[in-house]
Amino acid sequence: MLKAIKGTARGRELLGPGGLPVVIEPLLPGDINGPFPYSFPDVPGPRRPPTRWVIRFDPDVRGPLLLLMPPKGKPQEPYEGHPLPIQMLGHELGHAETGIDDGGPNHMSNVDQNENPISSQLGLPTREAYGIGKE
């Protein structure tokens, strides 16, 4: 997935030289964000700058959660505007490499700046709404 993202113009901008290294780790049982991917700076100690960004991500879990899983076991098809795993990874890379949050009109800042350009460049549908509970 990361290789495909690097194949897009926006992916190359995000993963090019100058940013902190990005490490992708699996989501852990009982993770603070449940089954949803998230990113955070890895800080080695108090008052120390981050040394890398960590993205916790499970490519087999689609957001938002089980009620919105696609029917008939087709996890790689877009489903009612909810992102595919590669789109979620692009979204988290946007947080990690730009520091942008999910603010802005309708919580779409990171989606508009990072996720949607990657999706478009991969030939995938773009997201028009952030998600459940974010109105």
Could you read off the pLDDT tens digit of each residue along the chain, which spans 135 residues? 888 999 999 999 988 887 778 888 888 777 777 767 888 888 878 888 888 888 888 777 654 443 333 344 444 444 455 678 888 889 999 998 888 888 888 889 999 999 999 999 999 888 887 764 333
Residue 132 counted as domain residue: no
Residue 126 counted as domain residue: no
Residue 64 counted as domain residue: yes
Residue 127 counted as domain residue: no
Residue 54 counted as domain residue: yes
* Residue 104: how many other CB atoms lie within 10 Å: 14
Residue 129 counted as domain residue: no
Q: What is the pLDDT of residue 82?
A: 65
pTM above the 0.85 mark? no
Residue 131 counted as domain residue: no
d(CA 4, CA 76): 15
The domain total for the chain is 1
- Domain around 79: 2-121
